[in-house]
Structure 1
Amino acid sequence: MKKFEDYFLAFNRWALILILAAMSVIIFTNVVLRYTTSQSIEWAEEVARHLMIWLTFIGCGPVLRYGGHIAIDNLQDSLHTRGAQLLRLLIALLITGFCLFSIWFGMQYMDRTQYQSTPATQISFAWIYMALPLGMAMTLIHWLLIVRSYIARREFASDAHFDATASASL
C-alpha cells in the first residue's frame, strides 16, 4: 500500500507541476506577444482558465492530505479525547460524503455539457468539467490514505516539501 501511495502522490505532484508550467508558459508567451507585436494568442486566456480549473481540483487532494485547508479547531480542542475523536469521525464522514457527491455530480455535469464546445478551442466542455469528478476521486483517495490517523490523533501526512504547520507559523 505504501508503494501505491508513493506513486499516487508522485503522479499527483507531477500533474500539478505540468499544469502550472503549461499555464505559466501560455500566459507569459501571450503577454510578451501582446507587448512586443501587438498580437495575442486567441485561445490563451481560455486555455489558461481551463487549466486553472484543473489545477484547483487536482490540487485539492494533496492540500487536504497535508492539512492545508482552512479549519476551525476550537470545538475539538475544547472536547475530551473521545469527544474530539467522535467529532473528527463526523467530519471524516462529511468529507467522504462530499467527495462522493462531487464525483457523482461531476459525472452528471459532464454528461450535460458534452455537446457544448468552448468558444476558442472548440473542445467539449465535458473535458473541462472532468476536473471535478477526477479531482474529487483523487481527493477521496488521498483522504482515505490518511483518515485513520486524522480521526485517532488529528494527524495529517507529513512531507519535507509541504508542511502546513511550518508555513502557518511564518
Structure 2
Amino acid sequence: MRRIEHAFVALNGAVLVLGLAAMAGILGWNVAGRYLTGNSLTWADEVARYSMIWLTFLGCGLALRHGAHAAITNAQDALPARGQLVLRGVILLILFGFFAFMVWVGIDYMNRTSIQRSAALQVPMKWIYAAMPVGFLLMILHLALVAPQYLRAGLQQSDEAPVG
C-alpha cells in the first residue's frame, strides 16, 4: 500500500512539474516571438490561464498532504491530548464533507458550461472547469491517505530550516 501511495504522490508531483514546464515554455516562446518577430501565439495566454487553473487544483492535494495550507492551531494546541484528537477528527469529517460537496458542485458547474467554448482554442469549457472536481477528488484521496497520521499528531509545516 505504501508503494502505491508513493507512486500516486510521485505521479501527482510529476504532472505538476510537467504542466508548469509546458506553461513556462509556451509563455517563454510567446514572449520571445513577440519581441523577436513581432508576432505572438494567439492561444498562448489562454493556455497559460487554463493551465494555471488546472495546476492549482492538481496541486492542492499535495499542499494539503504536506500541511502547506494556512492553518490556525491555537485552539488545538490549547486542548489536552484527548481534546486534540477529537478536534482533529471533527476537522477531518468537515474536510471530507466539504471536499465531497465541492466535487458535486464542480461536476454540476462543469455540466452547466458544456455548451460554452473558449475564445482562442475553441475547447469546450467543461474541460477547463473539470479541474475543480478532479482537484477536490485528489484532495479527498490525499486526505484519506494522511488522515491516520493527522489524527495521531496533526500536520505541521515548520518555518525553520531543518538542522543538519
Q: Normalised by the size of structure 2, how large is the TM-score? A: 0.94
Residues 1:108 and 2:99 aligned together: no
Q: 2 CA distance for matches of 1:135 and 1:15? A: 13
1:160 match: none
Identical aligned residues as a percent = 43
1:38 match: 38
Q: 2 CA distance for matches of 1:62 and 1:87? A: 22
2:26 match: 26
1:149 match: 149
C-alpha displacement of 1:7: 1.5
User: Alignment RMSD, CA only?
Assistant: 1.1
| One-letter amino acid matched to 1:58 | L
C-alpha displacement of 1:25: 0.4
Residues 1:3 and 2:20 aligned together: no
Q: 2 CA distance for matches of 1:109 and 1:17? A: 27
Q: Where does the alignment leave 5 or more consecutive residues of structure 1 unmatched?
A: 157-163
Q: Deviations over 1:63-86 (max 9, x none)?
A: 100111110011101111111111
| One-letter amino acid matched to 1:126 | K
Q: Deviations over 1:42-62 (max 9, x none)?
A: 000011000000000000001
Q: Where does the alignment leave 5 or more consecutive residues of structure 2 unmatched?
A: none
2:124 match: 124
C-alpha displacement of 1:37: 1.4
Q: Normalised by the size of structure 1, how large is the TM-score? A: 0.91
Residues 1:169 and 2:142 aligned together: no
C-alpha displacement of 1:150: 0.5
Misfit runs of 4+, over 3 Å = none
| One-letter amino acid matched to 2:130 | M
Alignment of 1:41-80 (within 5 A): 41-80=41-80
| One-letter amino acid matched to 2:102 | S
Residues 1:133 and 2:133 aligned together: yes
Q: Secondary structure at the match of 2:71?
A: coil
Q: 1 CA distance for matches of 2:121 and 2:129? A: 15
- Count of aligned pairs between the two proteins: 161
C-alpha displacement of 1:155: 4.0
2:92 match: 92
Q: 2 CA distance for matches of 1:76 and 1:96? A: 19
